Chains A and B, each alone.
Chain A
């Protein structure tokens, strides 16, 4: 089955710097890759996603890139702010498959700390 590896597990940056979190997946049939942000004590929130027919997607200060050949995707946060501090999770799924094959498989998370 699908396996998602996420790196690094912790990341500390200065305010204003960029942050990059990387994930690799094992199943070449995966075609949907969301990213979630989870603040302390809160629920995971979907912040951006990318589908396999797109190489890059941006939304203000965040962007996600996908390399299908290498089977990895990355979250890029520019001009980081203290409120970006949170745990970020990547995930992968085969969205057009039925049953359990279509479920999301999550990475183990990256704790991002943005220092003022």
Chain B
């Protein structure tokens, strides 16, 4: 089944404790991205990657890092999480030529 997977689905952590949210897709898509969803703000892009070893900032990159060492994986790294990063995070990949985004199930992160 074609899909985007994220782990963990739920995470509660404390300020300053480094964490990684993994994202993997099995569709051989080149383009992947991360969004965060906040009430009343919709979804905003954090980072995106057009291919292996090619990443760039989205609209709200502060406090986040990403890497793209393999085509299928695009982890989101929070090196020193803060409470304002409490949010619902979605990973997505794009089917080339269609602009159609495939979203993962989401990761709900709480930073206390």
The yes or no verdict on A and B being binding partners is: no
Residues of A within 8 A of B (CB): none
